[in-house]
Amino acid sequence: MDNYVFLMPLAQGFSALGTVLPAALGVIVGLAIGLGALLLRKGHARAKHDEIVSAAKTEADRIVKNASVDAREELLKVRSQFEAETQESRQELRQFQRQLAKREDGLEQKNEIQLKKEKYLEDLEKDLSDRLRAVAGGEKELGELVAREKDTLFSVAHMSRDEAIKMLLGRIQGEVEQEEGEIVRRSIERVKEQAEQKAHEIISTAIQRCAAEHTADNVVTAVDLPNDDMKGRVIGREGRNIRAFEQATGTDVVVDDTPGVVVVSGFDGVRREVARRSMEKLVEDGRIHPARIEEVVNKCQKEVDKTIRTTGQQACTDLNLRGLKPQVIEYIGKLKYRTSYGQNVLQHSIEVANLSAAIAGELKLNPALAARIGLLHDIGKAADQQVEGGHAEIGADIAKRFDEKPIVVNAIAAHHEGCAPESVYAVIVQAADAISASRPGARRESLERYIKRLRKLEEIAGSFQGVESSYAIQAGREVRVIVNADRVGDNQLAVLARNVANEIEKELASPGEIKVTVLRETRSVEYAK
């Protein structure tokens, strides 16, 4: 019973063990399988680990080997660069050493030269001091010798020192007085020459400063027509248009066979200008009848009057003249339409004003007053066709009537020597008027007179012995004379030129100067065979 009691728990234990054992066995088998798998995985991991470690070691050996090679190459490169820089530094150092050596040699040479110069200067200074001592001794000796000579001269001449000085001063005074007279004579001659030269310079300077244009004009003016049919309109029925035109303008109209041209003729330049403008406007308009002619002529008269005033004012402005009365300015403007021997009177008056001002300036006078007189000197020509008398008298009367100064009135009246000049300005204007009117090219000559004058010049030059040919050139302002070299020598050229000039002055009374040029030419010809 007791055993049963004992065995019951044991049986219950075996019974329970029978139940638990399969489960435990399953667990053990599972553990064994897992452990095998783990061991197998561990083996693979170790193999993989060994492989990775081996590959890492191989790569590490390769990297170390490459790094060693790169390090050697870099070391070689740095070493070569260092050696190159060291070599360059050594070369620069050698070059610097050579330059330093050259400089040392140069300094040594300069030092030697300086020593030589110092020695030379010392020798020169010593020689100079010796010479100075010798000169001082010579001066002393000379002074003593001069004193002895003076004593000897005084004893020989039996004169004292004061007597000798007095005699010497008297002789010198006589020589000085004679020399003074000669100097005075030469000075007077030189002053005369300089005065004449200065006068020439003043005149030439005044001429050079003035450059006025001249336009030749006639007493007729041609007006172009578009066609010959227009001539019939200008004449009009039974000539009424042309008569109305001539009566309105105070000019003559010439209609001839010349194609395309109508000529307006008249001595009054202002009327002729009004007629010219009127005819041009009538021809351009085409309506030509007495009423239209009168209308156009009045309009053109106003235009010309305005132009006259503008021209006169412009001349006064250009010359910087003030205070002239409007009537005087109008007379000045009318000179634009007046000519004298082909020379425009207004341009001539402006040129005379400029010349007078230049001459007065050179003489330290009043240029403005001289220019005023020069501009007004021919103002009488603007009214001489309406008033009897010479233009100088008429101009003086106009100037006096419009309150010009007496000096201006006298200069205008005296510029053609109609009365005695009362001031230097009158003489200046006379000279300027002569220069402007008589200079070559200022006034027109006829072709016949021109050719005759040139022939006369050539005949005078060719009449002298030794002259082969002569030519008048530059409109008769110069004569070229060619002489025979065998008959006329070089020393005779100046005499011949002077003789030709004198003969021209005697035979011809021509304005301006005529230049005489004598040419002598010698030739030597040889032939090479």
The verdict on 255 and 226 lying in the same domain is yes
End position of a domain, from candidates 427, 444, 461: 444
399 lies in the same domain as 472:
no
Residue 333 lies in a domain: yes
Residue 125 lies in a domain: no
What's the number of domains the chain is made of?
A: 4
Q: Is 120 helix (H, G, I), strand (E, B) or coil?
A: helix
CATH, residue 400:
1.10.3210.10
394 with 498, same domain: the answer is no
Residue 301 belongs to domain spanning: 210-318
Structure tokens at 197: 């030269």
This prediction has a pTM of: 0.46
Burial 59-85 (b: 16+ CB within 10 A, else e): eeeeeeeeeeeeeeeeeeeeeeeeeee
Closest-CA residue to 267 (of 206, 314, 220): 220
Q: Which of 380, 366, 391, 393 is nearest to 334 (CA)?
A: 380
Residue 87 covered by a domain:
no
* One domain, residues 309 and 342: no
What are the DSSP E strand ranges found in 341-410? 343-344
Residue 480 lies in a domain: yes
The pLDDT, as a whole number, for residue 298 is: 92
Domain boundary among 318, 335, 355: 318
- Residue 335 and residue 304 share a domain: no
Q: How confident is the model at residue 196 (pLDDT cuts 50, 70, 90)?
A: low
445 pLDDT higher than 80? no
Query: Mean pLDDT, to the nearest integer, of 387-415?
Result: 86
Residue 223 belongs to a domain with what CATH number?
3.30.1370.10
Residue with tokens 């019951």: 8
pLDDT at 3 over 50: no
In this structure, what DSSP letter does residue 191 have?
A: H
CATH code (residue 506): 3.30.300.20
The model's pLDDT over 449-498, given as tens digits with 9 standing for 90+, comes to 667 888 888 898 888 888 989 988 866 778 899 998 888 888 788 888 88
**Which two structure tokens, joined as six digits, stand for 166?**
């007095």
Token pair recorded at residue 231: 């001539």
* HEC letters along 245-294: HHHHHCCEEECCCCCCEEEEECCCHHHHHHHHHHHHHHHHHCCCCHHHHH
Residues 384, 394: contact at Cβ < 8 Å?
A: yes
Asked whether residue 184 is assigned to any structural domain, the reply reads: yes
Report whether pLDDT(443) > 60: no
> Do 509 and 432 fall within a single domain?
no
* Residue 478 and residue 377 share a domain: no
Residue 120: inside a domain: no
Query: Is 229 in the same domain as 271?
Result: yes
Q: Indicate whether 255 and 340 sit together in one domain.
A: no
Together in a domain, 329 and 421: yes
Q: 307: left (phi > 0), else alpha (psi -120 to 50), else beta?
A: alpha
What tokens does 297 get? 């002529």
Q: For residues 415 and 425, what is the distance between their CA atoms, to the nearest angstrom?
A: 10
Task: Tell whether the model's pLDDT for residue 13 goes beyond 70.
Answer: no
